[in-house]
Structure 1
Amino acid sequence: MKKLLNKANSHLLLVLLATLFFIQQGCKKEQSPSTSKGLPVINSIRNYVASPGDSVLTSVGTGKWIVISGSNLRGALQIYFNGVKGSFNDAWFSDTSAIVLIPEVIAFPLVEESQLNTIRYVTNHGETTFSFPIVAPAPTISGISNESANPGDSVKINGFNFFFIERISYAGVEVTDFKASSDGTSISMAVPATVSTSGPVLVRTKSGADTTFYHVHDYVTGVLNNYDAVNNFSWGSDVSNSSVDFPGNNGNYGIMKASNVPAGNGEWWGGGRSINTNDAQWVAVSHLQDTLSTYALKFEVAVKKPWLNGTIQIVRDQNWDYMALYRPWRNANGSATAFKTDGWQTVTIPLTNFLKASLPASTLTELLGQEGKGAIKFMFVNDGSDVVSNFEAAVDNIRIVKIR
Structure 2
Amino acid sequence: MENNIKRIFVALVVMAISSIGVIFQSCEEYPDEYEITGGVPTVDYIRVSDPEKSDSLIASASLNQTIVLIGENLTSIKEMWFNDKEAYLNTSFITYNTLFVTIPNEIPDVVSDKIYMVAGKDTVSYDFNVVVPAPAPKSMLCEFVADGEEAVIYGNYFINDPNVPLQVFFPGELEGEVVSVSDDYDEVVVKVPSGASVGQVTVKTIYGSARSSFFFRDDRNYILDWDNLDASGGWRSGVIANSDPVGINGNYVRFYGEMPGKAGDLWDEDKFAFNLWNQSNGRADVPFYDGDLSAAALKFEVNIPESWSSAALQMIFTPYSVSGNNEYVANDDATKTYLSKDFPRGLWMPWVSSGSYMTDGWTTVTVPLSEFVYDKDGKASEATLTTDMLGGLTFFVYHGGVDGSDCTVHMCIDNIRIVPL
Superposed, 1:99-248 pairs within 5 Å as 99-106=100-107, 108=108, 111-112=109-110, 116-123=112-119, 126-163=122-159, 167-178=167-178, 179-195=180-196, 197-219=197-219, 221-232=220-231, 234=234, 235=236, 237-242=238-243, 245-247=244-246
- Structure 1 residues 176, 398: CA separation in 2 closer, same or farther (over 3 Å shift)? closer
Deviation, 1:125, is: 6.8
The equivalent of 1:391 in structure 2 is 409
Letter in 1 for 2:64: G
Deviation, 1:54, is: 5.0
C-alpha distance after superposition, 1:379-401 (max 9, x if no partner)? 23374334322222211111111
CA contact (8 A) 2:256 2:409 kept: yes
C-alpha distance after superposition, 1:4-57 (max 9, x if no partner)? xxxxxxxxxxxxxxxx9x998874542326222233334433211233365221
Which 5+ residue runs of structure 2 have no aligned equivalent? 1-14, 319-327, 329-338
Superposed, 1:50-129 pairs within 5 Å as 50-52=51-53, 54-74=55-75, 76-106=77-107, 108=108, 111-112=109-110, 116-123=112-119, 126-129=122-125
Q: Please, what TM-score do these two structures have when normalized by structure 2? A: 0.76
Structure 2 Cα separation of the partners of residues 397 and 304 of structure 1: 18
CA contact (8 A) 1:301 1:395 kept: yes
Structure 2 Cα separation of the partners of residues 55 and 188 of structure 1: 41
Aligned counterpart for 2:392 among listed residues 353, 359, 374: 374
Structure 2 Cα separation of the partners of residues 43 and 183 of structure 1: 35
Structure 1 Cα separation of the partners of residues 408 and 242 of structure 2: 21
- Structure 1 residues 392, 88: CA separation in 2 closer, same or farther (over 3 Å shift)? farther
Structure 1 Cα separation of the partners of residues 287 and 237 of structure 2: 29
The equivalent of 2:340 in structure 1 is 320
Which SS does the other structure have where 1:369 is aligned? helix
Structure 1 Cα separation of the partners of residues 200 and 303 of structure 2: 23
CA contact (8 A) 2:177 2:192 kept: no
CA contact (8 A) 1:361 1:367 kept: no
Aligned counterpart for 2:352 among listed residues 330, 335, 347: 330
Which SS does the other structure have where 1:121 is aligned? strand
Deviation, 1:123, is: 4.7
CA contact (8 A) 2:277 2:391 kept: no
CA contact (8 A) 1:92 1:99 kept: yes
The equivalent of 1:13 in structure 2 is none
- Structure 1 residues 30, 53: CA separation in 2 closer, same or farther (over 3 Å shift)? closer
Structure 2 Cα separation of the partners of residues 70 and 266 of structure 1: 69
Aligned counterpart for 2:419 among listed residues 394, 401, 404: 401
Structure 1 Cα separation of the partners of residues 405 and 140 of structure 2: 34
Asked if 1:39 corresponds to 2:34, the answer is no
Deviation, 1:328, is: 1.1
| Matched pairs, number | 366
Identity %: 24
Letter in 1 for 2:352: R
- Structure 1 residues 155, 348: CA separation in 2 closer, same or farther (over 3 Å shift)? same
Q: Please, what TM-score do these two structures have when normalized by structure 1? A: 0.78
- Structure 1 residues 287, 329: CA separation in 2 closer, same or farther (over 3 Å shift)? closer
> What CA RMSD, in Å, does the superposition of the two structures yield over aligned residues?
3.3
